């Protein structure tokens, strides 16, 4: 299975399946609760959309100017 990594808005690195674009759960607790394919589809879409919004922001490379007296 080929995967790729997406950085979530909270900074976590999440693995996605390259063929289906679905999130791959990364721990046992997560797998036991949220293995419903419909849930994974919705969550994957939200995470990919959020990453796209963050990447397209004109302020993503913003570096504040600090006044140094």
Q: pTM surpassing 0.75?
A: no
How far apart, in whole angstroms, are the C-alpha atoms of residue 21 and residue 3?
9
How far apart, in whole angstroms, are the C-alpha atoms of residue 26 and residue 29?
9
What tokens were used for 21? 């674009």
Q: What is the pLDDT of residues 8-61, one digit of tens each?
A: 878 888 888 888 888 887 766 555 556 677 778 888 888 888 888 888 888 777
How far apart, in whole angstroms, are the C-alpha atoms of residue 56 and residue 54?
6
Q: Where are the domains of the chain?
A: 3-48
């Amino acid at each position: 299975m080929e995967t790729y990594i997406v950085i979530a808005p909270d900074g976590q690195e999440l693995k996605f399946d390259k063929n289906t674009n679905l999130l791959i759960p990364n721990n046992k607790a997560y797998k036991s609760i949220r293995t419903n394919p419909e849930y994974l589809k919705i969550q994957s879409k939200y995470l990919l959309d959020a990453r796209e919004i963050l990447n397209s922001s004109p302020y993503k490379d913003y570096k504040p100017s600090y006044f140094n007296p």
